[in-house]
Chain A
């Protein structure tokens, strides 16, 4: 049996990768993907905690987190499409009309 530590480490590493991706990627779609990665990394944690505690709550939370992530992704994609129509670019460093 694999120790829970390894799952948690995997989760933390994936989460960090996702967060770093948000920080350094410039394509909005990729940023969105990185965020999905973060959320799914958390799901790994949740599932492993659930298994560790022998409790089902964590798994239920994963359901919710999955569907929420999906909904968020959909709205995000829709907005990115709208941006693309206006700007012909999804480079987030160029989307800075609103500032200061």
Chain B
């Protein structure tokens, strides 16, 4: 019955081919008179070519990035927490190792000062 998915795959292929054809056609057939504003992509009103003064604080990105990682890694804890009693000691040790590894990562970011907004975080060495 999985053969029923052939149309989907065909659709998938057609979609891609069609997109390519349309893009090429519009380029080939339509008049092409680029100017700065035309070429500027419409990114919900944001200018993709940003100015220096518009930058967010670097700390903003850093916190966001660390949040993503640590937040998502925790998803491994949920299944374990659900089956904690059934899984037994071995799984407990495994998860301990997992958490220790995560912790080492966190510890590293703390030590090099990514969460210290007052100073510039850096990989500086010497």
* In-complex A–B contact (CB below 8 Å): yes
Identify the A interface with B (CB < 8 A). Answer: 5, 8-9, 12-13, 15-16, 19-20, 23-27, 30, 60, 63, 66-67, 70-71, 73-74, 77-78, 81, 84, 88-91
| A84 pairs with B50, CB closer than 8 A | yes
| B8 pairs with A20, CB closer than 8 A | no
Number of cross-chain contacts by CB at 8 Å: 71
Identify the B interface with A (CB < 8 A). Answer: 4-5, 8-9, 11-12, 15-16, 19, 23, 41, 43, 48-52, 55, 58, 61, 64-66, 68-69, 71-73, 75-76, 79
The residue from B52, B58, B66, B75 contacting A66, defined by CB atoms under 8 A apart? B75
| A89 pairs with B72, CB closer than 8 A | no
| B72 pairs with A26, CB closer than 8 A | no
**B12 cross-chain contacts in A, Cβ below 8 A:** 12, 15-16
